[in-house]
Amino acid sequence: MNFNAEDKEKIKKVVRRLKKSKSIFFITGAGISADSGLPTYRGIGGLYDDKTTEDGIPIEKALAGQTLRESPKITWKYLSRIEEKCRGATFNSAHKILADMEKVFERVWILTQNIDGFHQKAGSNNVIDIHGDMHKLLCPRCGWRSAVRDYRDLAIPPLCPACTHIVRPDVVFFGEMLPTEKVDKLYRELEKGFDIYFSIGTSSVFPYIAQPILLAGHLRRFSVEINPGKTPVSDIVDIKIPQGAACALEGIWQEYNR
């Protein structure tokens, strides 16, 4: 961890705030899993930076709810490729630090856009995985559910063992609504308020991802962004640390535990 003088001072300022805090709200995106080796494609990760896939459609269309319903083989083809690229990866030090913070602070919640399940695997309990988990399968016809380690042994597309309907991952595809129960949980926690808010490794382009940081500003609560790039919330937060998630969090946690 080679921080310049400015970043070291920012980390110390964040830690001073943390030591006065009882509650923390984290927002995480693809950047927190980058150190686990996961690709980061415009939200999925480096896999499909071209405008179209080999099927002549954008990856967003291939991974759209409508395509899943109408051409499930196409959606599952690209899902399986993405899963294969992520196979064997696991949580990194950034996920573990957030899980450790849950043991130290009175109230810690994580809102994540990621569908890799790494926060839960690292030991975090209070996770709102707003976009779901790609390792959880469900049948939209009969309600059958199951968890899988990977897609290696799945038929493409996989069929429900109970009713033979095509199953899907329990994730939010492009063009689909966010799950009501998770949105309700998010707003219940945000209504309680937090002492400090973090945005980590996310482009913050979705309103519901940027909103907690905007709320922090409205409530005059301390906010931090950890991201090498500039995002819509970069000029709103109190502290911007332009580093990768694992590097910055390791620096913060090391300073906190001195």
Q: Which domains does the chain have, with CATH numbers?
A: 5-37+91-131+177-256 (3.40.50.1220)
Residue 48 has pLDDT above 60, yes or no: no
Predicted pLDDT at 60: 87
Output the CA torsion sign for 171, 175, 176, 180: positive
From the candidates 95, 119, 131, 135, which is the catalytic residue?
131
φ, ψ at 117 (rounded to 5°): 75, 10
* Residue 242 confidence (pLDDT) above 90: yes
Q: What is the DSSP letter of 34?
A: G
Q: Is the pLDDT of residue 42 over 60?
A: no
| Alpha-carbon radius of gyration of the chain | 19
Residue 131 is among the residues annotated as catalytic for this protein: yes
Average pLDDT across the chain, whole number: 93
Is the model more confident about 219 or about 51? 219
Name residues whose C-beta falls within 8 Å of residue 243's C-beta, 6 or more positions apart in sequence. 3, 7, 226, 228, 251
Closest CA to 76 of 168, 159, 9, 153: 168
